[in-house]
Amino acid sequence: MKTVLTITLLATTLLPTALLAHGNKNDGHQEKARTIDYSKAEKHVFGQAADPAKAAQTITVDMSDQMRFTPNRIAARRGEIIRIVVRNKGQLLHELVLGTEGTLNEHAELMKKFPGMEHDEPHMAHVAPGKEQIMGWKFTQAGTFSFGCLIPGHYDAGMKGTITVR
C-alpha cells in the first residue's frame, strides 16, 4: 500500500515538472501546474482569466528584491486577451496579484494578519526566484486597475503597478 502511494505521488509531482520546465509551473505555494477551465473563469471588475495562447499581446513583467515591478505600468485594451509573463529576477519569492486598489489593499491587510495563508487563484502568480510564470487575462471593463505583490512588506515597500484599460 505504501509503495503504491509513493509511486502515485512521484508520478503526479514529477510529470508536470518535466513537461512544464519553462511553462506556467508554480514553484511557490503549490507543486502542480495549474489547469484553468477558462469557460468557467470567475468574472471580476478587473476582468477574467483567459487562454494565454489566444493573446493579442505579450507583456513581460520583471520582479526584483528592490520590491519593484518593471514595468510598473501596463496598458491594455478592453476585451483583448493579454499574456503576462512574470519573471522573478530576485532571490525572494514574489507574486503578482491583479485587482483594483481596493481589493489589493484589503488582501494585503489579510496577508499581514495571516502571513502563511495559502492563496492561489487565476488572477495571481506566485513566482519562485529565477522562475517565470505565464498568466492569461482579459480585461472586460475600461478603467484603471492595479497589480501588486502582497507578500507582507513587499506591497508597502512599493511593489505595485497600474493597469490602464481603454
Minimum gap (Å) between residue 132 Cβ and Cu ion: 15
**Residues 6 or more apart in contact with residue 90 via CB below 8 angstroms:** 63, 64, 65, 66, 129
- The DSSP letter of residue 141 is S
Nearest-CB residue for Cu ion: 149
CA neighbor of 155 nearest in space, from 85, 91, 113, 95: 95
Closest distance between Cu ion and the C-beta of residue 95, in Å? 6
Strand pairing category for 73-76 and 160-165: parallel
**Which one, 19 or 157, has the nearer CB to Cu ion?**
157
- Give the nearer residue to Cu ion in terms of CB position, either 83 or 94: 94
Burial class (CB in 10 A: 0-12, 13-18, 19+), 87: middle
Minimal distance, residue 149 CB to Cu ion, in Å: 3
In Å, what is the CA distance from 127 to each residue of 27, 36, 150?
7, 17, 12
CB of 137 to Cu ion, least distance (A): 19
Q: Which three cell numbers stand for residue 69?
A: 515591478
Please say which residue, 107 or 154, places its beta carbon nearer to Cu ion.
154
Determine contact, residues 161/69, Cβ cutoff 8 Å.
yes
Binding site for Cu ion (CB under 5 A): 94, 149, 151, 154, 159
Q: Please identify, using beta-carbon distances, which residue of 98 and 159 lies nearer to Cu ion.
A: 159
Question: Of the two residues 108 and 165, which places its CB atom closer to Cu ion in the complex?
Answer: 108
Nearest approach in angstroms of CB 155 to Cu ion is 8
